[in-house]
Structure 1
């Protein structure tokens, strides 16, 4: 038996709080998913989100068409009288995943329509999609609650739509409320009533049961499973592809097209682009899951692998002793990017190379682990048209004395200088900066709501530091990041990006 895998990292995964992929990052992830990892299908976006999203979708669809992957790229659309259909067609999409209501409560209370009215609306959009040469799959949103609270509605919906030109019926546990027993029962009922239809299952992890529910859905006979890289997704996330893959292959003896040995590579790239760190103990892809620490285990490993199971690290592109090859020098940058499965256009490559050369003055070694962090920092920050610049700053730290910061900066062509004392070097810097904005400019200053320091795995003392800061300004919450060998400098870079982002976007 073979199961289809749809990866929705670029759509549902991007709904993770604080995650937003740049266009080049979306292209890179799409290539990794389809050509390296060999997933069957990818869901890349929701229609009508923004102009920026339209450009990203268009770029991915153009690339996919050139590589023969057009039918593997899917986009979420809505019951909106055909607006989503036009949006997807204009972007170059070939497949619409149509979001319908899978529970009576959602149909009547959110749409304020009768089931008959909703079904008629669905049919109209299906006809419009087919007329525009789009393949159609449908999501039954809130299907899990529909099966619990209004199964007759769900069955009537399928009964009416099963003769329509719908390729797949997708069954989401939208709120992550199912347990494995319910999942098996509900999926089995769907498969038994409609054995000729293709059903996908889409799990959420609110009760930490997403992978277990996937197990049950496949046992019940569904033909497709939805996952995300590293379990990214709204709230507690979606079913992580790495764990689902291991369960399907080892526990259920199910075949997929996935290239297991690329799992770790893709997970690390997505970790860097998303800014969401993989827990060290996360199965299959966690930093420590293939590291044996206890002496008795090490002894058993040397005696006929007494402490091994089927989850051998080599299957997933890893080793028992966690290590990644190192490289240094600008001459090998492209070679190491290729080893990580990352492709960049010439302009992006030029920017990354320049950034690495600049960072090389501060750090002797640039490793493969560092590269995705550098790339993400470069692609998400445009050095052009920066109306706010830091001209000079001095930070002093002496035993027994509070740190002092002196900064000189240029804001829209006018120079300002201030000094402040703080509880730390960065705190002193921020207090001096606030003085400039509040005293000289008479402007409100954003609130720092979260401060996260991140380094590539490996625990090296010479690692680059990625500082990710969350800000709130006039009710708008956003993140900026800085990358440097020095933590304070990384934080200052992130702060400068924040000021320019506010200035250029006027929020």
Structure 2
């Protein structure tokens, strides 16, 4: 019989949650009604809603040196150290970027980790991701790392088809690895791979419950990283498990007893839901969302770290000590120093992020930048709004460009009727009347500015 007790968190009478036991099935549960491989995945609703429960402390963790290096040319040691310094600068003294994880298998990665540890920063704390064996545990402990990630795949796709195990065998293997990790003096962070295709009540909850029991017995915190490996999570209310992000986070807390500060969401962007899923995880009880800089990661990428900086500010109304202007510094460094091809339309960091081409938009920007700029990008991101001059820019677009250039020279702003603006606009019109189809470059506009204003 279930007991009814007063919850000190909600101040309501609640039934003690049912204790879910491992369901050791003979054949894998692949949820083919939701995931028919020959069709696109289906979003099923059961209309079960769970309460929002944002933790007091929410923050960002980083995987730029782990997942972020799996889909691009590896960083050099010096590049990793420089990016680590920028992460520290961006996250601020309150540790909004709480942790970052490293590989430790190559000499280059280990050297970068050691150099970053020598900096003595409290944040981001350096953690690792390793194979689950004693040799690797001993290696990271000798380096001085206190926490490490361990892969514990939890869907039957992985348990049956990748590892060739039963659920009971997988559970026993994982629990043994976690105990070895604790015996080596490390805090385990269990990466529940493919949680959005896993049997939530038949495997995920019983496994997480046993982890919490071990944690209580050993007095060692054990984190659960809910990994949306294929980006199948859905943020909508009333979605059925295993795809419901809110259901997963609520279930880990309510049925498995995992506290908020031990829950971390790790998402991918295969269905364009990376950012909203991460925000949903925060809203329903996960303290941490795991991200990578510029969203660089496996396949379509991870949750962009810079996106969650602004998601935090939108939800909490403050940057809480973060320095968002460093985002521009990070993007410029990764583009220029590592030859990363950043798509120009990428929010916050792409070349076209706050660039307008339409003349009517430029005219509005001249009158009041709040009309078409999402916020004061110059003061917040150190990125003043820009215009590109084309055949659709109109005289307003040219005037906007001239005023931005004048600002660099310390000169006052001018109107659309200024002689220099009119002359440059006439030249632009001639270019397109003669059949030009490409954008006018800044260098060309600078040359015309000097000719028309007689500045040598």
**Shorter-chain TM-score: what band?**
0.5 to 0.7
1:189 and 2:251 are equivalent in the alignment = yes
Identify the residue that residue 97 of structure 1 maps to in structure 2: 149
1:63 and 2:128 are equivalent in the alignment = no
Shift of 1:34: 1.9
Q: How far, CA to CA, are the matches of 2:382 and 2:109 in structure 1? A: 29
Secondary structure in 1 matching 2:152? strand
Identify the residue that residue 210 of structure 2 maps to in structure 1: 160
Q: How far, CA to CA, are the matches of 1:258 and 1:301 in structure 2? A: 28
1:13 and 2:68 are equivalent in the alignment = yes
Identify the residue that residue 215 of structure 1 maps to in structure 2: 279
Q: How far, CA to CA, are the matches of 2:183 and 2:170 in structure 1? A: 20
Deviations 1:391-438 (A, max 9, x none): xxxxxxxxxxxxxxxxxxxxxxxxxxxxxxxxxxxxxxxxxxxxxxxx
Higher RCO (CA 8 Å, separation ≥ 6 residues): 2
Shift of 1:301: 2.9
Write out aligned runs for 1:437-476 (5 A). none
Identify the residue that residue 75 of structure 1 maps to in structure 2: 128
Secondary structure in 2 matching 1:262? helix
Q: Please, what is the CA RMSD of the aligned residues?
A: 2.7
1:115 and 2:167 are equivalent in the alignment = yes
Identify the residue that residue 31 of structure 1 maps to in structure 2: 85
CA contact (8 A) 1:230 1:271 kept: no
Identify the residue that residue 127 of structure 1 maps to in structure 2: 179
Write out aligned runs for 1:397-412 (5 A). none
Which of 84, 88, 105 aligns to 2:136? It is 84
Q: How far, CA to CA, are the matches of 2:147 and 2:312 in structure 1? A: 26
Shift of 1:189: 2.6
1:293 and 2:347 are equivalent in the alignment = no
Identify the residue that residue 446 of structure 1 maps to in structure 2: none
1:106 and 2:158 are equivalent in the alignment = yes
Q: How far, CA to CA, are the matches of 2:366 and 2:124 in structure 1? A: 48
Shift of 1:273: 4.1
Unaligned runs of 5+ in 1: 324-457, 462-507
CA contact (8 A) 2:362 2:387 kept: no
CA contact (8 A) 1:250 1:310 kept: no
Secondary structure in 2 matching 1:67? coil
Write out aligned runs for 1:301-340 (5 A). 301-304=365-368, 305-310=370-375, 312-321=377-386
Shift of 1:65: 4.2
Secondary structure in 1 matching 2:127? strand
Q: How far, CA to CA, are the matches of 1:71 and 1:318 in structure 2? A: 26
Secondary structure in 2 matching 1:162? helix
Shift of 1:76: 0.6
Shift of 1:253: 4.1
CA contact (8 A) 1:214 1:225 kept: yes
Deviations 1:324-362 (A, max 9, x none): xxxxxxxxxxxxxxxxxxxxxxxxxxxxxxxxxxxxxxx
CA contact (8 A) 1:9 1:232 kept: yes
Q: How far, CA to CA, are the matches of 1:232 and 1:171 in structure 2? A: 19
Higher mean C-alpha displacement, 23-32 vs 91-100: 91-100
Inter-CA distance 296–55: structure 2 relative to 1 (3 Å threshold)? closer
Which of 264, 267, 278 aligns to 2:342? It is 278
| Aligned positions, number | 319
Unaligned runs of 5+ in 2: 1-55, 237-243, 389-440, 445-456
CA contact (8 A) 1:263 1:316 kept: yes
Task: Please identify which structure carries the higher strand content.
Answer: 1
TM-score (norm 1): 0.57
Inter-CA distance 84–254: structure 2 relative to 1 (3 Å threshold)? farther
Secondary structure in 1 matching 2:268? coil
